[in-house]
Structure 1
Amino acid sequence: MPVHNLSTANLINSLPKAELHLHIEGTLEPELMMALAAKHQVTLPYSTIDDVRLAYNFDNLQSFLDLYYLGASVLRDEDDFYRLMWDYLCKCKEENVVHVEMMFDPQTHTERGIDFAVFMAGFTRAMAQAEKEWGQSSLLIMSFLRHLSERNAFDTLTAAAPYLPMITAVGLDSSELGNPPEKFTRVFAKAKELGLMRVAHAGEEGPPEYIWSALHDLDVHRIDHGVRSVEDGALMKELVSRQMPLTVCPLSNIKLCVFDHMNEHNLLTLLEHGLMVTVNADDPSYFGGYLNDNYHALAAHLPINKQHIKTLASNSFKASFLSEEKKSHWLNQISNFDAD
């Protein structure tokens, strides 16, 4: 039976949702960062948790990435990666995020001498436990760091070979400017040969041309971010025609100065032009909110109604790598919520 008379806030909290643009290393909360630093005797330039939070003021993507990689340096053993993943999946349970497709950055760890065996064991142990305890659905996306070389990406894909049954897709993240998608055309072609799905960050800091390149050179199934697509009318038509999903991250866009204020965000414009827009948290510890926080921020600052919210939640499943049967299950669940 339909659920009637839910407020906008309750609808956001109650709807089943999928999250498709989430960097697991970006869920590292200051408390866990400091605890693991103490555990491993890692020296950080912070004395207290408040000092860490004060550092979460970014001028641009690079200033965030500098802190992001520093934070990741405290992740050393299997239990660290298990705890990182477990804490995030518990948050999903709280927020009714029933399916997640999480990005992880192996090069961030292998460059520190930490083997795939260490982080993959920690991640998959937490994922299996969450699935067993409350039916949490989750998939992994292995992201290449675009500021590193094509050769490094190929080496990472080779090192991942024993773990490919645990990995659904490859992605492309890190510093966008100066590192266009076509730099990794051959790596993505190899990933496609191996049966992996493909996503790529484009059109956040980078121009619309980067979105075109992700579509044509990388043959992606989703564009991560993509908010600058509005600058190119032909691109907008292409994205609508393909129903190419955009995994938009509102709080991230504000924190990284893509938009000055949430009331300037173009998510509603993208949605009303017929694009397959989804809402995601990106790096929630650093950007001030998990998935529901992003929905609530949009509702507070844009003229978004309950039907928009239902559409965004539905899009999150349509754009996912779930089976058609599982997509239909969750889409039916959403249709039982009365948006009036």
Structure 2
Amino acid sequence: MSNINALIEALPKAELHLHIEGSLEPEQLLEFADRNKVDLPFKTLEEVRAAYEFSNLQDFLDIYYQGMSVLQTEDDFHDLTDAYLKRVAADNVRHVEIFFDPQGHTERGIPFDVPITGILKALDAAQERYGISYRLIMCFLRHLSEEDAFKTWEEAKPWLARIHGIGLDSSENGHPPSKFTRIYEAAREAGLKLVAHAGEEGPPAYVYEALDELKIDRIDHGNRSLEDDALIARIRDAGITLTVCPLSNLSLCVVDDLKDHPLKKMLALGLKATVNSDDPAYFGGYVNQNYRETAEAVGLTHDDIITLAKNSFTGSFLSAEEQAPHLEAIDRIAAAH
């Protein structure tokens, strides 16, 4: 595996599925809690780490929202984002398309402007500081109502020139994409890119809804699409990118063993899969770790790794002109390995 690991480290990559709130490391959780005088049920790093062990999506979401409570100021959001960028720069990530959850903050009484100002300050400095470009995607929480999403949309309007797309996250089961058809229509009319979590724990029908009702440009996760041959053909023929998160799938028991992960099968079927970390502080690994562990578990080849790295850029919302130098660098490095 050492040759594959060296290749993974050398290649430039884009990360297309990352919740910035999910990059809150246990050390940061305690630091921000202390900074903002937030009383947590954990007192030590070990207790926080123990709480970061969970067995399903709902258990994870419970601790995830609890963790959010320590994020209160512009500086918190800036420092959180900057720490993530510094980490992924070390993984040779050259472009990020990150999600943020404004409703997770506004419903705690934090004004919309606070998180987005802090996040954008870090992202705006990322090119010079780390050589990383970005797109920012505002997610709506699907366990809340579409009316609630529209309230957030109104708060976001002064910022739309700085927001590149919208997404849909949180608990999937019982909250089909069709619940959010109108808000997606509004975002589409405003010229934003559209993505949504679909087919992680929800059925293939949810992926169809995301495509037909929301008219998304990219599918976040999409694992369960593989249960439906017609859906596989449709996604493949449309060239729609899947933002796959292997270690997240393992942590949340979407797969019981990484050896069972469908990533290699997705590539064999001609699907445009990518590798991403989702909520790396909670799921045990940033981008390269996801590549390395999955490569070993399912037997990804040199060519598979090259394909995944290229997909991460061609599946991004960068223009063809912006993608070109990254794709040329991948070809150059592939030839050297």
Equivalent-residue separation in structure 2 for 1:56 and 1:200 (angstroms): 25
Q: Note the C-alpha offset of 1:338.
A: 2.8
Structure 2 unaligned regions, length at least 5: none
2:166 touches 2:195 (CA, 8 Å); kept in 1?
A: yes
Specify the alignment match of 1:161 in structure 2.
157
Specify the alignment match of 1:187 in structure 2.
183
Specify the alignment match of 2:124 in structure 1.
128
Specify the alignment match of 2:254 in structure 1.
258
Equivalent-residue separation in structure 2 for 1:251 and 1:313 (angstroms): 17
Specify the alignment match of 1:69 in structure 2.
65
Specify the alignment match of 2:331 in structure 1.
335
Specify the alignment match of 2:40 in structure 1.
44
Specify the alignment match of 2:220 in structure 1.
224
Q: Note the C-alpha offset of 1:128.
A: 1.6
Structure 2 counterpart of 1:196, from 192, 199, 208: 192
Counting only pairs closer than 5 Å after superposition, residues 61-140 of structure 1 correspond to structure 2 as: 61-140=57-136
Equivalent-residue separation in structure 2 for 1:94 and 1:130 (angstroms): 13
Specify the alignment match of 1:293 in structure 2.
289
Supply the AA of the counterpart residue of 1:274.
G
Q: Note the C-alpha offset of 1:320.
A: 0.2
Q: How many residues in Structure 1 have an aligned counterpart in Structure 2?
A: 335
Equivalent-residue separation in structure 2 for 1:51 and 1:326 (angstroms): 44
Deviations 1:135-175 (A, max 9, x none): 32011100000000000001111110011111000000000
Residue 20 in structure 1 maps to residue 8 in structure 2: no
Specify the alignment match of 1:308 in structure 2.
304
Equivalent-residue separation in structure 1 for 2:30 and 2:126 (angstroms): 25
Equivalent-residue separation in structure 1 for 2:263 and 2:331 (angstroms): 22
Equivalent-residue separation in structure 1 for 2:35 and 2:55 (angstroms): 31
Structure 1 counterpart of 2:56, from 54, 60, 83: 60
Equivalent-residue separation in structure 2 for 1:34 and 1:130 (angstroms): 25
Specify the alignment match of 2:207 in structure 1.
211
Equivalent-residue separation in structure 1 for 2:160 and 2:45 (angstroms): 37
Supply the AA of the counterpart residue of 1:159.
E
Deviations 1:9-61 (A, max 9, x none): 11101100000000000000000100111111111111111111111222211
Structure 1 unaligned regions, length at least 5: 1-5
2:306 touches 2:334 (CA, 8 Å); kept in 1?
A: no
Deviations 1:101-142 (A, max 9, x none): 000000000101111221111111111222222332011100
After TM superposition, the score normalised by the length of structure 2 is 0.98
Equivalent-residue separation in structure 1 for 2:210 and 2:283 (angstroms): 25
SS for the counterpart of 2:333 is coil
SS for the counterpart of 1:337 is helix
Equivalent-residue separation in structure 2 for 1:214 and 1:222 (angstroms): 9
SS for the counterpart of 2:144 is coil
Q: Note the C-alpha offset of 1:303.
A: 1.4
Q: Note the C-alpha offset of 1:307.
A: 0.7
Supply the AA of the counterpart residue of 2:145.
S
Specify the alignment match of 2:275 in structure 1.
279
% identical equivalent positions: 52
Equivalent-residue separation in structure 2 for 1:279 and 1:312 (angstroms): 7
Supply the AA of the counterpart residue of 1:125.
K
Q: CA RMSD in A?
A: 1.0
Equivalent-residue separation in structure 1 for 2:111 and 2:205 (angstroms): 35
Specify the alignment match of 2:235 in structure 1.
239
Q: Which runs of 4+ in 1 moved over 2 A?
A: 132-135
SS for the counterpart of 1:7 is helix
After TM superposition, the score normalised by the length of structure 1 is 0.97
Deviations 1:203-249 (A, max 9, x none): 01000000000001001010000001111011001011101110000
SS for the counterpart of 2:55 is coil
Equivalent-residue separation in structure 1 for 2:274 and 2:131 (angstroms): 23
Supply the AA of the counterpart residue of 1:269.
K
Deviates more, 1:68-77 or 1:50-59: 50-59
Specify the alignment match of 2:27 in structure 1.
31
Counting only pairs closer than 5 Å after superposition, residues 147-158 of structure 1 correspond to structure 2 as: 147-158=143-154
Deviations 1:179-200 (A, max 9, x none): 0000000000000011100000
Equivalent-residue separation in structure 2 for 1:135 and 1:205 (angstroms): 35
Specify the alignment match of 1:3 in structure 2.
none
Supply the AA of the counterpart residue of 1:300.
E
Equivalent-residue separation in structure 2 for 1:249 and 1:268 (angstroms): 13
